[in-house]
Structure formats: C-alpha cells, structure tokens
Amino acid sequence: MSVSSIARAFTAALALLCTTIPAHPQALYPQTVKARDDAKLVQPIYQSLPLGSIKPGGWLKDQIETEASGLAGNLFDFYRYVQDSMWIGGHTEYSPLHESAPYWFNGLVPLAFGLDDARLRGQVTAFVDYVLDHQQSDGWIGPETTPESRGLWARCYILLGLMQYAQADPSQADRIVDAMHRYVNLAHSMLQNNFTGLLPKANDSFDGDGFGPARAHEMHIPLQWLYERYPRNNSQVIWETMELMIEGSTVFGVDWRNFWVPGVYPEVTYTPREQPYTWLFNHGVNMAEGLRFPLSIYRMSHDEALRTQTRTALDLLSQWHKSLAGTIIGDEFVTDLNPSRGAELCTSTEMMFSTAYIYQYLGDNDLADWTELTAFNAFPGQLSPDWWSHQYVQQENQPWSRTLNEYPQMWQNVGVRGNVFGLEPNYPCCTVNHPQAYPKFLANSFVITEDGGIAHVLLSPGSVTAKGATILADTTYPFGMDLQYSITTETEFTFYVRIPAWASSSSTATGPSSDVSTQISPTDQGLQAFTVPKGESSVTVNLQAEPRVVTRANNSAAVYYGALLYTLAIDFNESAIQPWSWDGGSVLNSSDTTPQTHDHIIEPTSPWNIAFDPSQIKVVQANASTLPNPIWDYGAPPVELRVAAVEIDWPLKFDTPEDPPSEPLVTGKPFSARFVPFGSAKVHMAHLPVVQLPEVDLDAST
Ligand SMILES: *[C@@H]1O[C@H](CO)[C@@H](O)[C@H](O)[C@H]1NC(C)=O
Ligand SMILES: *[C@@H]1O[C@H](CO)[C@@H](O)[C@H](O)[C@H]1NC(C)=O
Ligand SMILES: *[C@@H]1O[C@H](CO)[C@@H](O)[C@H](O)[C@H]1NC(C)=O
Ligand SMILES: *[C@@H]1O[C@H](CO)[C@@H](O)[C@H](O)[C@H]1NC(C)=O
Ligand SMILES: *[C@@H]1O[C@H](CO)[C@@H](O)[C@H](O)[C@H]1NC(C)=O
Ligand SMILES: *[C@@H]1O[C@H](CO)[C@@H](O)[C@H](O)[C@H]1NC(C)=O
Ligand SMILES: *[C@@H]1O[C@H](CO)[C@@H](O)[C@H](O)[C@H]1NC(C)=O
C-alpha cells in the first residue's frame, strides 16, 4: 500500500471530523430549572469516598502501577501534546479544542493519588501550579487570549481534575476553589452573552464540530461539587452557569433529552449507514458521556422523569449498541452489533466512568456489572500488557492487528491503522484520555450506603479506610470467585458486598460472627449485608457460576464465565516498529517517542476461523493465590475454558472477517478449543457462529 493511500484515508476521516454542524434548535423541554438560594441537589444513593481513601491491592495494584510506569505515567515527560502543551507554556496541540493536557490531567490526578506515587504527584502538582499561576486577570483558565480561541469545553476536564485534586489534598482546596469561582464568574458572563465560548460563531476557531455543546454537562460534576461544598455566596451564579450550559446544548440541537427516547433513538443501522441525526448524537464517545446528561439536570430539577430517562438511555444503548465486552460499538459512529466494526478506547474509558457514576444514583445492580464488564474486558483488551501502547478501535472479532489493506476501507471515521497497538494509531485523544479508567474504577470501588454502611461494589482487590473502619479485600476476582475481607472498626457498622447478577443462588457467605457459610441472600439492589462488630473480624464471599452463552443475531453467540468474556485463544507473531504519527503521513521522529514506545504488528499463527457448540464447555481453573503480572497478557490469567469447536470457511471483507456466517461451511474435524479471557487476548475471536457437534473430549489437548 502506498503512503498516499494512507494519507487519503486519513484526509477523508479528518474532513468529516472537521465539518461544522449547523445548529438545529429543537427545544422540546422547558429549559429553566428553578434556581433558589436554598436549592438542594439530589443526593446519590451511594456516596463516593474522598480520592485517596481507597488503595488498590493484588492484581489491580500491579496493573495501576504498570499504568504508572507505562504511557500514562510518562506522557508528561515526553509526549508532545502534554509535555509541550500550550497549557504549560508549550506550542503543540492536536486540535483547537486544546483538550489534550486537560484529558491527561483528569486521569493523572486519580492515578497519582490512588497510588500515592510521589513522582506522579509531582507531575500533577507542577501542572496545577502552572495553570493556577497563569490564570488570566479576567478569570480565564488556560492559554487562550482571544475570544475566537476561547472554548469552554476543555476546561470541564481541568475543573474535574482540580476538584479531585482538592479532594485528595485539602490543603490546596482554598486556592483551587478561588480559581474556580473566578472562572465561573467569567464563564457565566460569557454564556449570558449569546453562549460565547460554548456555541462556535462565524470567526471562532475553538470548536469546529460542536463537541462543547454536545458535552456541556461535563461541567456539572465539578460545579455541583463547588455548589455544595464551597458556594461562597456565589450559588446563584454557579447554578445559572450550569443552566446556561444546558440551554446552549438545546439551542445547538444537542439536548440529549431529545435523543434518549424510544422511537427516536437510532436502532440498529446497517451499511450503508444512514445518519438521521447530527453526528454528535451518533458518536460513541459522545454517547458514553451523554448518558450522564439527563442525570446532571435531574440533580438540580428533582424531576423524576429524568432519572427514569437515564435508565431508558442505558437500556436503549444496551439493546442496540452495547458490545459483548461492555463498550459501545461505533467507528466512531454507532452502527450495528456486528463484530467487525470496533469501538474506540475513549468509549470504554468513558463508559467505565459513566456507568460507575450513574450506578451511584440509580443503585441498579446491573450497572455495576456493566462497569466491571468494561473494566475487565473491553478496556484491558485495548492496551498492551505493559501499558505502553493502545488501540484506537477494538473489534470483537479481530484475528490480526495491523494496517488493513483493502479499499474502500471498513471504517467510516477511523484510519486503516485503527486496530494497531501503538502510541497514537489514530486520533490522539485516546493516548491522553485512557489514564483515567482504572484509577476512577478504583476510586468508585467502595461507597457509603444511605444507612451509613460501607459497600464493596466494584469487586477487585484493595482496601478502604472510612468512618473509623479499615476493610481489606483480598481476592483474585475476576480470575477467582472468592472474596476475603479483613475488617477493623471502631464501631459496629453494616458492611455490604455486591453480588453480581450472574452469580448463582448457591453462592455462599460467611459473616463475622460465624464460622459457618450460608447461602447468599442479597437485597433487591444485589447487596449482601453483614453486621460487623467493633474490633477485628473477617467476612468471606464465595461466588458460584456456570459458563454463560449469550446469543446474537444469525445463529451466533459468545461465552462468558463470571465477569469475563472469553475468546478463542489465537497464537500470534508480534513485531514492534517505530510509531507512526496519527495523521498518517510518516513515522514519528525519535525525539517524539521513547525507547518503549512502539507500534505493534500482530499476526495470527494458529487458526481463528471456528464455530462452536455451546452445549460443550468446561472450565479449567488453576490454583493461583498469586497472579502473574502483567495479568492482561496472553496466557497469564489462571482461568480458561475448553469448548467444542470446528474450523469453518469464514470469508473476509475489508481485510477483516465478515460477520459470522449463519450457515457455516465446516472444513475440519471437531476439537477441544482453548478459550481465554478477552482482556488478555490482543488478537481474538469472541462472536462466533454456533454449530451442533458430536461429543468432543474437552480434556484432549490440541
Ligand atoms: C447569537 O449566536 C448565533 C449563533 O450561535 C447567531 O446566529 C446570532 O446572530 C447571535 N445573536 C446575537 C444577538 O449576536
Ligand atoms: C469575521 O472575520 C472577518 C474577516 O476578518 C471580518 O470581516 C468579520 O467582520 C468578522 N465577523 C465577526 C462577526 O466578527
Ligand atoms: C455572604 O454574604 C453575607 C451577607 O451578604 C455576608 O454577611 C457574608 O460574610 C458572606 N460570606 C462570604 C463567605 O462571603
Ligand atoms: C444477519 O444476516 C443478515 C443477512 O445476511 C445480515 O444482513 C445482517 O447484517 C446479519 N446480522 C448480524 C448481526 O450479523
Ligand atoms: C513473524 O514476523 C516476522 C516479522 O514480521 C516474520 O519475518 C516472520 O516470518 C513471522 N513468522 C511467522 C511464523 O509468521
Ligand atoms: C521530524 O523532524 C523534522 C525536522 O525537525 C520535521 O521536519 C518533521 O516534520 C518531523 N516529523 C514528524 C513526523 O514530526
Ligand atoms: C487446588 O487446591 C486444592 C486445595 O488446596 C487441591 O485439593 C487441588 O488438588 C488443587 N488443584 C490443582 C489443579 O492443583
């Protein structure tokens, strides 16, 4: 393939990305929420804990440390869009949104404080110092000095990062809150002036696409925190700023309350893909963020219809566009549930945050399961085991990871190297946005319940100190099914462990006052309660499950066991090359990379083209009290499946396996196939045709 054809593909993608979207005012809802001096925000059912109170343990600690020693923890020192960002006096941005350092900052704050890592704390502190010291005299935060270049959007992530920083280091709260108030006063006056900084006008350069209005509610989390904790006689201005952000979205035609509606929401669309909406709605990452739009208004209006709509939004998404691995299929636009399309890394990252956040308000058990599904499957599957490279798009059926060699190419708004593990295999947003995923998963893993208890809701190894109690969770979950807790507390309290919806009723629990395990009896919200007395005690939960087969269209299916999706194990051959630059033109200069940054070309060396028999599945679990590190590596997880399978004829299209053949043509003899956790298999086939096979000896090694 020629460089010019790569360049053409990228130019086409970029042209689309930069199209200005005409505004379609379509205000169906009353926009104004009553502002009262004493207006209270809706409180979550589960309160999150201050950043830093939860520490990772076991495999999760290993992975977050690997993240810190991989790309995430080194971007500040070498990556041109962070190290030389305009935000800290440099000159290099990948877009006029100037969002790259803000994305990085939003992820690095919870990473630095979650690990309590002095080196990373130094990075974020240096950034905070620079940004606050350079706040402009009119209150503007950031490097832009002309009205045309001043967009509000990137500041949502700066404020989110600052909020987390103030929570983790209260000694800095005053200084941060001062800066936030000065900024809010300015943003309020800009928004009052015909939505300046939010809606791009003729000569504005800050946002050619309308990302700001589509994501206006991202400002709400930090502003609602400011409103509740540090209002400083400025409540009215904070409140109106939030209202104006939403009103701007409505004027621009991206009010998500008009989109998350049955009958309006786009159901499965097949190629050629029609786009009846502004593409801002059909965009996977925007959708992952837009799930929180009704909820952000609900907190202010107390309008139960918006809470209900949040549930409806999740259900619509789940039915039509949720991938097997827990993300949203969209390249970058949502299409159908076919396994070749792929999903962006920013989408799994934002989905993990959105489902964890919404879970705290709705309390529905399936939402925490969804967060775990994304965290243990889609997300790790898109990162190399050493966390030094990532994919832009992950396909559910992806037997190779390399430049795709067919035109017209398979993706609509993704370049031909979209599935390569690299530094910036496509748009650089995922390079700088992915760091937030695991640290925020950690920060939301334990919560305070409405009755003042403590609940372990996103299951993983770690510990928490809160309300005079320290709880240590020792587990290899999701690779093992047992959770052991050691608890020390100054006063009696109720401890809850969330029981995943897939766990069978034969799962057992042992409380602090008994040596006898009993069958679980979770609440309607899926919480198993334990009364923990003052002093030291222990609690155990032993989950039981069987492999689950989830069927999809055209006689196809996928296999899960516990929280993990499984894929056919594919042996592969990997080679590392100097990274390409995201705009496709050339290989990056060594001054823009480090010795650890590579693009990885992965080719299968064993068959990938199989169909399977869902009635013949066996679990193979090794005894592993300690897990290998890195765990998200091929062959590392101690649990695998053996599945009866057979090779079939599976045609290619766009240099990728076609949709699963509904009447597969068998080409081999039945055999016992090895299936491994999806997150550990960088090349994989997870969405497969179903066949009936004669009985296969599943213990026979292949
Ligand atoms: C307000 O902005 C819109 C574009 O968003 C523009 O069409 C309109 O003319 C502006 N109104 C005023 C009074 O400047
Ligand atoms: C936009 O820029 C052009 C060219 O500099 C100028 O003539 C025009 O007045 C500007 N429009 C606005 C609304 O500032
Ligand atoms: C808030 O306003 C009241 C009355 O105007 C004033 O007494 C009080 O000092 C103010 N508080 C702050 C924190 O500015
Ligand atoms: C099912 O098969 C039909 C007909 O071949 C095809 O149009 C459709 O895309 C397939 N759907 C899925 C989800 O594979
Ligand atoms: C593995 O990749 C290398 C480098 O691309 C290539 O030379 C070699 O032939 C490949 N081996 C196999 C077994 O595919
Ligand atoms: C590499 O460096 C040269 C010289 O500074 C520059 O012209 C070129 O654009 C750089 N290439 C990339 C991909 O950044
Ligand atoms: C796993 O450990 C249990 C108990 O320690 C033992 O009974 C069993 O044989 C072990 N299984 C394997 C495969 O080592």
pLDDT in tens, 538-579: 999 999 999 999 999 999 999 999 999 999 999 999 999 999
Structure tokens at 325: 């691995």
pLDDT digits (tens, 9 = 90+) for 180-218: 999 999 999 999 999 999 999 999 999 988 999 999 999
Q: How far apart are alpha carbons 511 and 492 in whole angstroms?
A: 13
Question: Using CA positions, which residue lies closest to atom 14 of ligand 1?
Answer: 194
For the chain, what is the mean pLDDT? 92
Total structural domains within the chain: 3
Does residue 533 belong to any structural domain of this protein? Answer: yes
Identify which ligand lies nearest to the alpha carbon of 651.
Answer: 4
CA of 210 to the centre of ligand 1 (A): 15
Structure tokens at 511: 């409380």
Domain match, 102 and 154 both: yes
pLDDT for residue 701: 66
**Residue % of the chain over a pLDDT of 90:** 86
Say which residues have a Cβ less than 8 Å from residue 354's Cβ, sequence separation at least 6. Answer: 288, 289, 291, 292
Domain match, 535 and 564 both: no
The CATH number for 531's domain is 2.60.40
pLDDT for residue 276: 57
Q: How far apart are alpha carbons 281 and 290 in whole angstroms?
A: 8
pLDDT digits (tens, 9 = 90+) for 36-95: 556 899 999 999 999 999 999 999 999 999 999 999 999 999 999 999 999 999 999 999
Does residue 292 belong to any structural domain of this protein? Answer: no
Does residue 633 belong to any structural domain of this protein? Answer: yes
Is 203 close to ligand 2, i.e. is its CB under 6 Å away?
yes
Q: Is a pLDDT exceeding 70 seen at residue 386? A: yes
Is 21 close to ligand 1, i.e. is its CB under 6 Å away?
no
Identify which ligand lies nearest to the alpha carbon of 233.
Answer: 3
Is 338 close to ligand 4, i.e. is its CB under 6 Å away?
yes
Q: Is a pLDDT exceeding 50 seen at residue 7? A: no
pLDDT for residue 365: 98
Look at residues 448, 454, 453, 508 and name the one whose alpha carbon lies nearest to residue 484. Answer: 508
Helical packing angle, 153-168 and 173-192, nearest 10°: 160
Q: Tell which atom from ligand 4 comes closest to the C-alpha of 337.
A: 13
Question: Using CA positions, which residue lies closest to atom 7 of ligand 4?
Answer: 270
Domain match, 209 and 174 both: yes
Does residue 589 belong to any structural domain of this protein? Answer: no
Domain match, 236 and 117 both: yes
For the chain, the straight-line distance linking the first and the last C-alpha, in angstroms and rounded, comes to: 37
Domain match, 91 and 232 both: yes
Identify which ligand lies nearest to the alpha carbon of 200.
Answer: 1
CA of 458 to the centre of ligand 7 (A): 28
CA of 401 to the centre of ligand 5 (A): 14
Q: 635 or 15, which is more confident? A: 635
Identify which ligand lies nearest to the alpha carbon of 340.
Answer: 4
Q: Is a pLDDT exceeding 50 seen at residue 653? A: yes
Q: Tell which atom from ligand 4 comes closest to the C-alpha of 553.
A: 13
Q: Is a pLDDT exceeding 70 seen at residue 585? A: yes
Domain match, 515 and 634 both: no
**Residue % of the chain over a pLDDT of 70:** 93
Token pair 């590596």: residue: 633
Say which residues have a Cβ less than 8 Å from residue 388's Cβ, sequence separation at least 6. Answer: 70, 71, 596, 597, 598
Q: Tell which atom from ligand 1 comes closest to the C-alpha of 200.
A: 5
pLDDT band at 15 (very low <50, low <70, confident <90, very high): very low
Domain match, 500 and 530 both: yes
**Which spans in 253-364 are helix H?**
284-290, 293-301, 304-320, 345-362
Is 201 close to ligand 1, i.e. is its CB under 6 Å away?
yes
CA of 198 to the centre of ligand 2 (A): 18
Please report, to the nearest 10 degrees, the dihedral formed by the alpha carbons of residues 450, 540, 57, 681 taken in order. Answer: -100
Is 196 close to ligand 2, i.e. is its CB under 6 Å away?
no
Q: How far apart are alpha carbons 217 and 159 in whole angstroms?
A: 12
Structure tokens at 554: 């055209």
Domain match, 503 and 618 both: no
CA of 233 to the centre of ligand 3 (A): 6
Domain match, 614 and 684 both: yes
Instruction: Give the phi and the psi of residue 74 in degrees, each rounded to 5.
Output: -120, -5
Domain match, 229 and 116 both: yes
Residue 220 DSSP SS3: helix
Does residue 302 belong to any structural domain of this protein? Answer: no
Please report, to the nearest 10 degrees, the dihedral formed by the alpha carbons of residues 238, 240, 242, 248 taken in order. Answer: -150
Domain match, 537 and 554 both: no
Q: Tell which atom from ligand 6 comes closest to the C-alpha of 581.
A: 13
Q: Is a pLDDT exceeding 90 seen at residue 18? A: no
Average pLDDT over residues 316-342: 93
Q: Tell which atom from ligand 6 comes closest to the C-alpha of 592.
A: 14
Identify the residues whose C-beta falls under 6 Å from ligand 6: 581, 586, 588-589, 592
Instruction: DSSP for 192-219, please give it.
Output: HTTTTTTS--TT--S-SS-HHHHTGGGG
Average pLDDT over residues 608-620: 98
Instruction: Give the phi and the psi of residue 498 in degrees, each rounded to 5.
Output: -75, 130
- CB distance 380 to 460 below 8 Å: no
Identify the residues whose C-beta falls under 6 Å from ligand 5: 573, 575, 603, 605
Strand order in the sheet with 493-498: 47-48, 446-448, 454-456, 493-498, 527-532
Q: From residue 226, give the alpha-carbon distance in Å to each of 246, 483, 700.
A: 18, 37, 61
Residue 410 DSSP SS3: coil
pLDDT digits (tens, 9 = 90+) for 403-460: 998 877 888 889 899 999 999 999 999 999 999 999 999 999 999 999 999 999 999 9
Does residue 167 belong to any structural domain of this protein? Answer: yes
Domain match, 509 and 613 both: no
**Boundary of a domain, candidates 234, 254, 274:** 254
Is 270 close to ligand 4, i.e. is its CB under 6 Å away?
yes
Structure tokens at 161: 């990062």
What stretch of H or E contains 414? none
- CB distance 685 to 608 below 8 Å: yes
CA of 404 to the centre of ligand 2 (A): 43
pLDDT for residue 275: 57
pLDDT digits (tens, 9 = 90+) for 230-286: 999 999 999 999 999 999 999 999 999 999 999 889 887 654 455 556 679 989 999
Tell me the residue range of the domain where 555 lies.
Answer: 548-571+606-689
**Boundary of a domain, candidates 204, 231, 254:** 254
Does residue 648 belong to any structural domain of this protein? Answer: yes
Does residue 65 belong to any structural domain of this protein? Answer: no
Q: Is the peptide bond before 276 cis (omega within 30 degrees of 0)?
A: no
**Boundary of a domain, candidates 542, 562, 592:** 542
pLDDT digits (tens, 9 = 90+) for 131-188: 999 999 999 999 999 999 999 999 999 999 999 999 999 999 999 999 999 999 999 9
- Burial of residue 42 (CB within 10 Å: 0-12, 13-18, 19+) is middle
